[in-house]
Chains A and B, each alone.
Chain A
């Protein structure tokens, strides 16, 4: 019997090695020291102080009133960066390309605009357009931009099947640009996974060994690189080498559980079950479960059986079944709770903060069991749907604050104004549209939660069958051992 589910290796690799990119990383900052215009400088300060929405509106107002003067191009570049941060990639590309194609744009602005639009095209998997945009970048790149340029080109070449050219264009692995480092990780992972190319391992090895223990983002990429490399080595049956990388994953990283699971597998594949148990027991004792956490429910008694500790193995199998029954019941209860109105209130609370709902969730009897939360959040689709829902709620808050500001403006005037009446109409229309989108997104969110829990329930149901088989095998092993002793 194959109790340790090695088929989980591929999905796990996909989970940890899925294309990495974040908007904050994508939107690099402009050279603010060059700002001379007061409107742009003020908008830039507001942005630095966290009032990004207000900053963009101020900049857009100054641009509409043609007040940016000689700083207009810099302002447009800043606007496009902000649009990227807000996830408005198409709008950002439009601004970048206008800047890049404009005859009067300065060379450094043109180069930056082509490069940034290429990065966005790359994220949207338009690789030919990415390469075409990069071809327009002639010169005037700083160190960080050079790293981004090489990383974008290498990735686009790889995606279009030009392996040799991609390898020749690879940037040097360094932390000068987090975006380039993310791309290097993606290239390395892809070279291993799809091309079976040793250079991929070299890239991940160099990322994992980067001498930077201060930057949290660099640390996170290092953890990912070490984990992917460790699991890749496990896959090709090199457990000893795999451990070297798995051990480097920081314990405080959210990936440490997967690393623990991998460490157990590495020893198990060498038939060192006692040592495998050290890691699996540690994982098994954690209260919050996830896909890999559930895997240890069976891995522990399996290893105990292999170590001839049959009675303990049986005990752990029974405990696993008890846990599965309890978790399945909790999941059924959670589905009922997610269907109730309380869930809508909980998940919508404190919209001003991205994770503001967590405090309400943890303190309410109406919320599903806390320990099921990691299961939901481990699902990237649920996470993305939740993030989108929360962003829409934030947008609605912005709209409500606009409504309050229109009222305040109205109250300070002695006579009625057509401008204000028009603003009211637009604000109300927008509010209706937003509510429509929020309702629609909430339906999607609930469906994602149901799908996730249903998937886990099916997984646990499958485990029950394997537990029965494992118990039978342990009893048989124990009986054989007893007979041997007679």
Chain B
């Protein structure tokens, strides 16, 4: 009889220990929020790269970005881009966006598909009653191209000026 009780006790103890170990390992398997956030960010990152790889406009298109530099007194109302006599992009700006742009942000105006080679683009900026036009000759690469359009005003100048920066990147493989 005593032996049986001892056996039951040992069995119960073993069972309890196994249960505790199981619970502990379950708790250890629950990923932390930090891990989940990092994994989500990495998944979103890789999706962005996959989108660029599989969507041709993203992969080998011409992407337009816009920012404002040193422009305290003038406002930009809208910007349009014309290629071979055809308007390919037009964007308007509100107060909030202009503030963000003046604080260092860059707005993506859009992207177009364009074959590699030389092209002439006309950029027209509307600022109040003033229209500022500038033409740029751009050599489109075989990969992805970014064209940064910046409006700036030098201290001694009255009229804002449009400046460009052209970046090229190999197509995502």
Q: Which residues of A contact B (CB under 8 A)?
A: 31-36, 38-39, 41-42, 44-45, 48-49, 53-54, 56-58, 60-61, 64-65, 67, 86-91, 388, 391-392, 395, 398-399, 402, 405-406, 409, 412-413, 417, 419-420, 423, 426-427, 430, 433-434, 436-437, 440
Contact = CB atoms under 8 A, between A and B. Distances in A.
Secondary structure at the A interface, as helix, strand, loop or mixed, is helix
Given A38-B65, A57-B45, A417-B54, A395 B40 contact: yes
Given A38-B65, A48-B103, A65-B169, A87 B45 contact: no
A32 B105 contact: yes
Question: Which of B38, B40, B65 has the most C-beta atoms of chain A within 10 angstroms of its own C-beta?
Answer: B40
Interface residues of B, number: 43
A79 to B, nearest CB: 10
Given A413-B54, A417-B54, A91 B36 contact: no
B49 A65 contact: yes
Contacts of B146: 38-39
Given A87-B34, A91-B34, A437-B33, A402 B105 contact: no
A423 B38 contact: no
B140 interface: no
A427 B172 contact: no
Contact of A392 (B36, B49, B101, B167): B36
A108 to B, nearest CB: 16
A409 B104 contact: no
Interface in B54-97: 54-55, 63, 65, 67
Interface of B: 29-34, 36-55, 63, 65, 67, 100-101, 103-108, 146, 148, 165, 167, 169, 172
Question: Which of B36, B103, B167, B169 has the most C-beta atoms of chain A within 10 angstroms of its own C-beta?
Answer: B36
A405 B40 CA distance: 13
Contacts of B104: 31-35, 41, 44
17 contacts: A31-B104, A41-B106, A42-B108, A44-B106, A48-B103, A57-B48, A65-B169, A67-B169, A91-B34, A395-B37, A395-B40, A398-B40, A412-B54, A417-B54, A420-B50, A434-B36, A440-B30
B53 to A, nearest CB: 7
Contacts of B169: 65, 67
Nearest to A37: B167
Contact of A430 (B43, B50, B100): B43
Contacts of A91: 34, 38
Contacts of A426: 39, 43, 46
A385 to B, nearest CB: 12
Contacts, number: 136
A45 B36 contact: no
B43 A427 contact: yes
A171 B55 CA distance: 54
A34 B100 CA distance: 14
Given A38-B146, A48-B103, A60 B42 contact: yes
Contacts of B103: 32-33, 48
A417 to B, nearest CB: 6
Contacts of A34: 104
A60 B36 contact: no
B36 A430 contact: yes
A186 B2 CA distance: 63
Question: Which of A65, A87, A436 has the most C-beta atoms of chain B within 10 angstroms of its own C-beta?
Answer: A65
Contacts of B48: 57-58, 61
A434 B52 CA distance: 27
Nearest to A440: B30
B33 A48 contact: no
Nearest to A58: B48
A409 B47 contact: yes
A53 to B, nearest CB: 7
Contacts of A35: 104, 106
Nearest to B48: A61
Contact of A412 (B29, B41, B42, B55): B55
A417 B46 CA distance: 14
Given A38-B148, A91-B34, A437-B32, 19 more contacts: A32-B103, A32-B104, A38-B63, A39-B146, A41-B65, A41-B106, A42-B106, A44-B104, A49-B100, A61-B52, A64-B45, A65-B172, A90-B34, A398-B40, A402-B47, A405-B47, A413-B54, A423-B46, A440-B30
Given A42-B65, A88-B34, A409-B54, A57 B41 contact: yes
B121 to A, nearest CB: 16
Given A41-B67, A48-B105, A402 B43 contact: yes
Nearest to B49: A61
